[in-house]
Amino acid sequence: MSLGLLLEEYPLEQGLAELATYLKLATSDVTSATDVLFDEADGYPYLRQRAAVDGEAELPRLIQRRQLSYPVSLILVLLRKRLAEFDATGGDTRLVVSRDQVADQVPLFLSDTANEARLLDRIDAHLNKVIELGFLRRRRDRMTSSKCAAF
């Protein structure tokens, strides 16, 4: 991306300090604007954007943040727990989880409802959001029917 296109998309709001920061980023590695942190407990690295230093402008977000609903966050936490348990067993390299397995765990944390069909529809909608965000992929093979999806 050229500097002209960058300034068209993100007009300068903080003056020369912002322009100098853009130029510094253009001549250096993008990782200079991020820190790679390693979570010892989980064994996974993640990126965090560095805060602006005195004399530098605040950069636009390099790492996207998304606000998630409670049910989507819940599904992600339950899947992360399941993945940690799966990794601890040292079995296969790929974890396959069925929709029914997720649907069995989620209602424990959601408000009670007498309509089970409606609850399953809501869980399906939340699972579709998790797929849309890229945390899961729907598995398509002859072992799974459309009624009992696996991820």
Task: Tell me the percentage of the chain whose pLDDT exceeds 90.
Answer: 9
Close Cβ partners of 22 (under 8 Å, ≥ 6 residues apart): 3, 6
Q: How confident is the model at residue 146 (pLDDT cuts 50, 70, 90)?
A: very low
The per-residue pLDDT for 97 is 87
Task: Tell me the percentage of the chain whose pLDDT exceeds 70.
Answer: 63
Residue spans of the domains in the chain: they are: 3-49, 70-133
Q: For residue 141, what are its two tokens?
A: 């093979």
Lowest mean pLDDT among 54-63, 68-77, 125-134: 54-63
User: Quick check: 34 and 47 in contact, CB under 8 A?
Assistant: yes
Integer Cα distance of 123 and 69 in angstroms: 12
> What are the tens digits of pLDDT across the range 31-64?
556 677 777 776 666 667 777 777 666 666 666 6
Check the CA dihedral 111-116-122-127 and report its sign.
positive
Mean of the pLDDT values across residues 8-14? 73
